[in-house]
Structure 1
């Protein structure tokens, strides 16, 4: 069966309910897309939790080596990794009871989507979380 993203209305609800966003593959380089997207989301009021085994802090937040190392609940796992690397991330997102697995624009993995959905997670892929948030919640205050 071909994957289909939730409706825009449902994505809006997921974003409204989200507080903690773990960003897998968040770079500490301000010129990288992952950094720029996470920085805007942080300014829009989301708590960004970096998952990067090669950095200690990004955007003022402690970095974690893996999703399992994060000591608090995660609403959205936002993934900036190549498509072929997403299956273990989906498995770990299920393991930590995240609510949503979100694969960024250009990141598509049907097997990861099946794992997430079977584990009870909402699944979004091939969409930019920053763009969706800006479209669906245009009045969200930037701090």
Structure 2
């Protein structure tokens, strides 16, 4: 899957609230540091994990199920196996008719779920990480030794 930088920038630029499905409370897990990073960048992160329901993570209540989230979200970021993605997408589409984005993390793809979401007018990203894309597109990966291809005059 190929996504233009303009498309990814548009998605990240319009997104304000992200439900992170499968978030972990373990700081060494990718789902933890991705969610934490996105929160530090100004996104509201709503954590979703059945094993952590009712706890607090990143200053937000953790919800056991996506259907329990009481606020509107713009993006659902999925850290779950590819085979469970269709059920997550169904719940998200039922819960938020104005949902803008379904984002499946690195290694996660489901063509059936992606097609269904797109038929509902939802943008879909598969096999990518919003943290990595945000860093790459907004010139932050250079500090980690990565060449972003983006020229910036920021110090």
Query: For residues 45 and 110 of structure 1, what CA distance do their matches in structure 2 show?
Result: 30
Aligned length: 136
Does 2:132 match 1:124? Answer: no
1:74 equivalent in structure 2 = 73
Query: For residues 81 and 53 of structure 1, what CA distance do their matches in structure 2 show?
Result: 12
Long gaps (5+) in structure 1: none
1:5-42 deviations in Å (ceiling 9; x for gaps): 54220110110111101000001111111001111111
Deviation of 1:138 (Å)? 3.0
TM-score by length of 2: 0.83
Does 2:64 match 1:65? Answer: yes
1:19 equivalent in structure 2 = 16
Within a 5 Å distance, the mapping from 1:47-62 to structure 2 comes to 47-55=44-52, 56-62=55-61
Deviation of 1:135 (Å)? 1.2
Residues 51-60 or 38-47, more deviating: 51-60
Between structure 1 and structure 2, the one with the greater Rg is: 2
1:136 equivalent in structure 2 = 137
Q: Which runs of 4+ in 1 moved over 4 A?
A: none
